[in-house]
Chain A
Amino acid sequence: MKTQPTSPLTEATFLILLSLSPAPKHGYAIMKEVKALSKGRVVFSTGTLYGAIRRLLEQGWLKRATDPKPNPTDRERKAYALTEKGRRVVNAETERLRSLLATAEERTSESPV
């Protein structure tokens, strides 16, 4: 079943969801992954990241999970994973962006009259 987000996702939300798409991650790993995905353009502060995580948890797009990577320090890390609903949202948004891009490419490739 396809889920259409009610409106286009913000870039930050989309990047967080995308960073969790392959596997669950803890907060610091999400920050690094988002930075890498955006080629250094989007760098979250800790407060911004957890504010976003809170909303995504409330919306049911994320859930708490066990950190799959071994913990080298004794610091307790909580990991987050996409829920089924969250995954549908990412897929729907990706599809929307793909279709938008195709339209844009089609239109810009036409030679001006």
Chain B
Amino acid sequence: MSVLARLFIRVYSRTLNLYPPKFRAEFTEEMQVVFRDSLEEALNGGMLVVVLLCLREFGGLPFNIFKEFWHELQGKELIMLHENTSGSPATTGQVVMGALPFLAFGIVMIMLELAPTLGGALLWLWLLLPAIGFGIGWVQGFPRWSYPYVGMALILAFYIQNASTPGLNFFGIPVFGRELWGWRSWVPLAVAFVIALVISRSLKPFVSFFINLWKDWSIPSYFMAGALPWLVSGALIEIDRLYYFMVTLAILLVGMVILYLRSQSTWQRVLVLTVGVIAILFPAALGSNSYWLAHHGTFSTNAEMFVQAGKVALVMLLPAWLELFRRSLGRLRRA
């Protein structure tokens, strides 16, 4: 075999490494053998045949590689869509993804207190995190872990739309000053949506988002739990020594998410959400109210604040409790 032929074979073998790992493990050995056979036959036909063969093999390579990556992505999406509908506990990776925004929330709040410059930079990253989570969630067909990201992203966009953020700087540069954010608050979510749509090339995740919500009513509650960091920071943001509260509440948030995602049955999920929401919401509301009462005495009474926190908790937890009721009713009917 000529030097040129050996070179072609070596280059072809190297390019096969660009295929996705699963495909590579299954087929590249065979492909090398087939390419070698084709090349040997082409060499007998002359240089022109060899050139045509190489054009065909190397020219089609980028498209074929892309096609195989695309195929694997679609396959994963289908598997994940299937997993979404099952009640099986989340994998470690899914738990990490689910806990990330809540953990990051705690870290950002602590850093804002201890190292404001670094905290400010991290705050920007954290503000983008819900949109990123939404995008990944879309591509993966909205697995359970992704719902609080969507809740967070929507609340952030709605809230900031009618707000100005004087004093909020991006690496020292003031952002919009006293001007309202308006439509610009939706930009991160819109960008994430467009990227996710280009990757998934499908509106199916939009449908599966609602199907999952309907199949398990603890998911709407979990979705609303995405608002908890905002509520907690809104209640405590102006209190001195903020980070002590934040550390405790961030630990509770992360714990709630991990336990919720690792739960194996509906009643476990509902219990985790109920305990978590109550343990986070009431101390945050009553703690901040007590502080203001002690220092200024101008806020609502603790009893009034208790009722307000109770209303928010009721809205958040009602779907989960109804899910428990629905399941129990179904079980009774079957019996």
Main SS of chain B's interface residues? helix
Pick the contact of A50: B31, B36, B37, B59 (CB < 8 A). B31
A47 touches B60 (CB 8 A): yes
Set of chain B residues within 8 Å of A26, measured between Cβ atoms = 30, 34
Say if the beta carbon of A49 comes within 8 Å of chain B. Answer: yes
Question: Is A6 at the interface (CB under 8 A from chain B)?
Answer: no
Let me know if A49 and B67 touch, CB within 8 A. Answer: no
Taking a contact as CB atoms under 8 Å apart, the answer to whether A27 and B30 are in contact is: yes
Q: A77 in the interface, Cβ–Cβ < 8 Å?
A: yes
Q: Which residues of A contact B59 (CB under 8 A)?
A: 45
**List of A residues within 8 angstroms of B34 by Cβ:** 26-28, 31, 46, 49-50
> B residues 126-156 with Cβ under 8 Å of A?
none
Contacting B at CB under 8 A, from A6-62, are 26-28, 31, 43, 45-51, 53-55
- Known A-B contacts A27-B33, A28-B37, A51-B64; A43 and B56 likewise in contact (beta carbons under 8 Å): yes
User: How many residues on chain B are close to A (CB under 8 Å)?
Assistant: 22
Which of chain A's residues has its CB closest to B58's CB? A45
Query: Which secondary structure characterizes the binding site on chain A?
Result: helix
Instruction: Give every chain A residue within 8 A of B71 (Cβ-Cβ).
Output: 51, 54-55
Q: Which range holds the interface residue count of chain A?
A: 10 to 19
Q: Please choose the segment from B21-29, B102-110, B117-125, B325-333 that sits at the chain A interface, where 4 or more of its residues have CB less than 8 A away.
A: B21-29
A75 within 8 A of B: yes
A/B interface sample: 20 pairs, CB < 8 A: A26-B34, A28-B33, A28-B34, A45-B56, A45-B57, A45-B59, A45-B61, A47-B31, A47-B57, A48-B60, A50-B23, A50-B30, A50-B31, A51-B64, A51-B71, A53-B27, A54-B27, A75-B33, A75-B37, A76-B33
Please report B residues at the A interface, Cβ cutoff 8 Å. 23, 26-27, 29-31, 33-38, 56-57, 59-61, 64-65, 67-68, 71
Q: Give 19 new A-B contacts, CB below 8 A, not counting A46-B35, A47-B60.
A: A28-B37, A28-B38, A31-B38, A43-B56, A45-B57, A45-B61, A46-B31, A46-B38, A46-B57, A47-B31, A47-B57, A47-B64, A48-B60, A49-B34, A50-B30, A50-B31, A54-B23, A54-B68, A78-B30
